[in-house]
Structure 1
Amino acid sequence: MIKKYGWPLLPALLLSTAAADSKIPLGEFSQNQLNGWEQKSFKGETRYHLQKLDGVTVLFADSHASGSGLFKDQVIDLEQTPILNWSWQIANRLPGLDEQSKAGDDYAARIYVVAKGGLAFWQTKAINYVWAGNSAKGRVWPNAYAGDHVMMLALRGPEAPLNSWQTEKRNVRADFKQLFGEDVRHIDAVAIMTDTDNSGRSVSAIYGDIWFSED
Structure 2
Amino acid sequence: MQNFKHIYWIATLITLISGLLVYTNVNDRIVLDPAEADEFTLDPAEFDPDDEDAKIFRYSKFGRKDEAVYKRGTRESDGAPIIVASSDNSISTVTTPLTADPTIFQNVDWEWKIESVLPSGDMTKKDGDDFAARVYVTFDYDPSNLGFGERIKYNLYKTFTSFEIPLRSLNYVWGNKPDRVGDTAPSPFSDWVQYVVVKSGNEEAGEWHTEKRNILEDYRMVYGEDPPAISGITIMTDSDNTGESTQAYFGPITISKE
TM-score by length of 1: 0.90
Listed as ranges, the gaps of 5+ residues in structure 2 are 1-14, 49-53, 145-150, 155-165
Identify the residue that residue 170 of structure 2 maps to in structure 1.
Answer: 127
Q: What fraction of aligned residue pairs are identical, expressed as a percent? A: 27
In the TM superposition, 1:9-88 aligns within 5 A as 11-20=25-34, 21-25=37-41, 27-29=42-44, 31-34=45-48, 35-36=54-55, 37-42=57-62, 43-54=65-76, 55-88=79-112
The separation in 1 between residues aligned to 2:252 and 2:122, in whole angstroms, is 30
Larger Rg: 2
The count of aligned residue pairs is: 211
The separation in 1 between residues aligned to 2:222 and 2:207, in whole angstroms, is 28
Identify the residue that residue 6 of structure 1 maps to in structure 2.
Answer: 21
AA paired with 1:46? A
User: Does the 8 A contact of 1:13 with 1:73 survive in 2?
Assistant: no
Identify the residue that residue 203 of structure 1 maps to in structure 2.
Answer: 246
The separation in 1 between residues aligned to 2:226 and 2:46, in whole angstroms, is 35
AA paired with 1:18? L
The separation in 1 between residues aligned to 2:201 and 2:223, in whole angstroms, is 26
More helix by share: 2
1:154-196 Cα offsets, whole Å, 9 max, x none, are 1001154111011111110111111101111521111111000
The separation in 2 between residues aligned to 1:170 and 1:84, in whole angstroms, is 5
Q: What SS does the aligned partner of 2:30 have? A: coil
User: Does the 8 A contact of 1:78 with 1:186 survive in 2?
Assistant: yes
Is 115-124 or 85-94 further displaced after alignment?
115-124
Q: What SS does the aligned partner of 1:93 have? A: coil
Task: Say yes or no: does 1:96 pair with 2:96.
Answer: no
User: Does the 8 A contact of 2:141 with 2:228 survive in 1?
Assistant: no
1:75-104 Cα offsets, whole Å, 9 max, x none, are 122222210010100011212333211100
The separation in 2 between residues aligned to 1:56 and 1:124, in whole angstroms, is 35
User: Does the 8 A contact of 2:25 with 2:97 survive in 1?
Assistant: no
Q: What SS does the aligned partner of 2:31 have? A: coil
In the TM superposition, 1:147-162 aligns within 5 A as 148-158=191-201, 160-162=203-205
C-alpha spacing 1:160/1:87, structure 2 compared with 1 (3 Å): farther
Is 33-42 or 122-131 further displaced after alignment?
33-42
TM-score by length of 2: 0.76
User: Does the 8 A contact of 1:84 with 1:170 survive in 2?
Assistant: yes
The separation in 2 between residues aligned to 1:33 and 1:11, in whole angstroms, is 19
Q: What SS does the aligned partner of 1:7 have? A: coil
Question: How far 1:11 sits from its partner (Å)?
Answer: 4.7
Listed as ranges, the gaps of 5+ residues in structure 1 are none
Alignment RMSD, CA only? 1.9
